[in-house]
Amino acid sequence: MALVVSVIGAGRIGRHVIDHVTDAPWLRPGRVLTRTEGPGAFWTTPADIIIDAAGPSALRAHGAACLARADLWTVSAAALVDDGFRQDLLDVARNAGTRLRLFAPWVAGIAEMPAGHATRLDLRISRPGSGAEFTGPLRAAARAFPDELNFAVAAALCGPGIEATRVEMTDAAPHRLEATLHAPEGSFRSEMTFSGQGTHPTALALMGALDRVQPGLGYGA
């Protein structure tokens, strides 16, 4: 039976996910919630998975309602630096028997070890036009630049934790991420330079995860 997938947001990430859900025979499109469409039909249409592709403000506004109804996959992890809000969402998920899933770390080693096994995460991020100039702890960085650090909070929460993650951000070209994940076994280092072309990398991560819910061959997480 096809899984029903609803989506919040139809922008650069959401529109690719919506197209992917529409084309996948093991998935069935549910509803799409945007700023210009009323939420009534969205909440009355059952879904197996709700994907939040709209950012931290959308997660704060709709996260609890989503988790009360379905598993929630979100690109908006920066909102979760608020410990109280994060706990509230987890309480809703626990009571409803649903799951909150974060996208996308893009950090080597995160998916290959249990949460909390790593001891430290160091991130260096450059992005032209971001206006982001910061060196210090992730919690402060995510509060100052939430739209730039959703991936970083996701990686921290699935890795060594927010307090064990440090960020260096610069407004400079090229758009680049360098991540070093430290664990008792050694250090895992990953580097990515983003071209700005093609599909948004987080959209690709969501599409890949949707592919992995189909019956048959799977790879890793």
Active site amino acids: 182
CB atoms within 10 A of CB 21: 25
Contacts of 98 (CB under 8 A, 6+ apart): 67, 68, 69, 70, 71, 72, 92
AA identity, residue 178: E
